């Protein structure tokens, strides 16, 4: 039996809370597992709590670059205390959108590098936020030998994609790929064994998704779209993605 994986979703976000039990029931029916990423320490605690509800929820904890003022020491302590039960570290990374000064940028880099170090120590996969910062991410990552790294919602150019492939990164594509030609083109340039799919819920998508909150139930549509773009049967695409997801997670 083939399982689908949402490689990046924020199930611990408040927008999902009232429907969480129904979401988990749907995951069971659709045979979907979810890498549930976190934003900060408080959100990470919530992620750990909801992961107790189902083994289909794979907890990732960390500090998002938007939350770079979070307490790094306490976050590291939380990771150390739960290293045996977490599936990975994330969402971590860089994003100049959230910096107002050189000090803010240095703080983001310090948090990113510190969490990369602990991921390396515990051999945990990482989910990376890289908006407007891919080249900086590449440069920093040359100093680390983390187990597996995912550039979630890949938004780089073809040259950056090739560098990601050369560095053995996984990259993920989401619902926007259903209607965005540039993402479809990037998919065709991605090594098949490095492709993952995601929703990044509760982000909202336009066009055919009518600005609805991204649900984990969007995943089959992303898989179907991927299969059409790559001219692969749906079942084969699903099997490839299952293998890739397991390789990323080290399971």
Query: By residue range, what is the domain housing residue 117?
Result: 4-249
Percent of the chain with pLDDT over 90: 93
10 Å Cβ neighbour count for 191?
16
Q: Measured between alpha carbons, how far is residue 68 from residues 47, 160, 162 in Å?
A: 18, 25, 29
pLDDT score for 213: 85
Task: Quote the CA–CA distance of 11 and 207 in Å, as a whole number.
Answer: 23
pLDDT score for 112: 98
Structural tokens at position 152:
């979630």
Of 209, 203, 201, the closest CA to residue 180 belongs to: 209
Query: Which domain CATH number covers 170?
Result: 3.20.20.140
Task: Quote the CA–CA distance of 12 and 59 in Å, as a whole number.
Answer: 10
> pLDDT tens, 15-49?
999 999 999 999 999 999 999 999 999 999 999 99
Q: What is the mean pLDDT of the chain?
A: 96
pLDDT score for 206: 77
Q: Measured between alpha carbons, how far is residue 79 from residues 115, 116, 150 in Å?
A: 9, 12, 19
pLDDT score for 211: 80
State yes or no: pLDDT of 236 exceeds 90: yes
State yes or no: pLDDT of 5 exceeds 80: yes
Task: Quote the CA–CA distance of 155 and 89 in Å, as a whole number.
Answer: 21
State yes or no: pLDDT of 209 exceeds 80: no
> Radius of gyration over alpha carbons of the chain, in Å?
17
pLDDT score for 147: 76
State yes or no: pLDDT of 145 exceeds 90: no
State yes or no: pLDDT of 76 exceeds 80: yes
Query: If pLDDT is split at 50, 70 and 90, which confidence band does 99 have?
Result: very high
Task: Quote the CA–CA distance of 91 and 112 in Å, as a whole number.
Answer: 10
126 forms bridges with which residues in the sheet?
Answer: 89, 149
The side-by-side arrangement of strands in the sheet containing 32-36 is 4-9, 32-36, 57-61, 88-93, 126-129, 149-151, 170-173, 195-197
State yes or no: pLDDT of 247 exceeds 80: yes
Q: State how many domains the chain has.
A: 1
Structural tokens at position 199:
């929703």
The pTM score is 0.96
Chain centroid to CA 85: how far? 18
**110-115 average pLDDT score:** 98
Query: If pLDDT is split at 50, 70 and 90, which confidence band does 205 have?
Result: confident
Structural tokens at position 66:
């938007």
- Report the sign of the C-alpha dihedral through residues 19, 234, 247, 119, in that order: negative
Phi, psi of 185 (to 5 degrees): -65, -40
Task: Quote the CA–CA distance of 32 and 174 in Å, as a whole number.
Answer: 15
**73-87 average pLDDT score:** 98
């Amino acid at each position: 039996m083939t399982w689908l994986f949402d490689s990046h979703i924020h199930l611990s976000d408040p927008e999902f809370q009232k429907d969480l039990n129904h979401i988990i029931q749907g995951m069971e029916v659709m045979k979907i597992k979810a890498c549930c990423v976190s934003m900060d320490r408080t959100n990470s605690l919530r992620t750990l709590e909801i992961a107790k509800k189902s083994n289909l929820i794979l907890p990732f904890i960390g500090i998002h670059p938007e939350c770079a003022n979070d307490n790094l020491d306490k976050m590291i302590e939380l990771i150390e205390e739960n290293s045996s039960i977490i599936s990975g570290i994330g969402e971590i990374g860089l994003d100049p959108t959230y910096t107002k000064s050189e000090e803010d940028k240095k703080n983001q880099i310090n948090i990113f590098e510190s969490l990369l170090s602990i991921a390396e120590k515990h051999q945990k996969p990482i989910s990376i936020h890289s908006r407007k910062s891919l080249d900086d991410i590449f440069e920093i990552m040359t100093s680390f030998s983390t187990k597996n790294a995912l550039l979630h919602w890949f938004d780089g150019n073809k040259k950056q994609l090739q560098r990601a492939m050369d560095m053995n990164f996984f990259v993920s594509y989401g619902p926007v790929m259903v209607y965005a030609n540039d993402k479809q083109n990037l998919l065709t340039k991605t090594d098949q064994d490095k492709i993952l799919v995601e929703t990044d819920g509760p982000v909202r998508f336009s066009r055919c998704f009518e600005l609805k909150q991204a649900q984990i139930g969007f995943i089959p549509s992303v898989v179907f779209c991927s299969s059409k773009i790559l001219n692969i049967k749906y079942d084969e695409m699903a099997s490839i993605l299952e293998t890739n997801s397991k390789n990323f997670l080290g399971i």
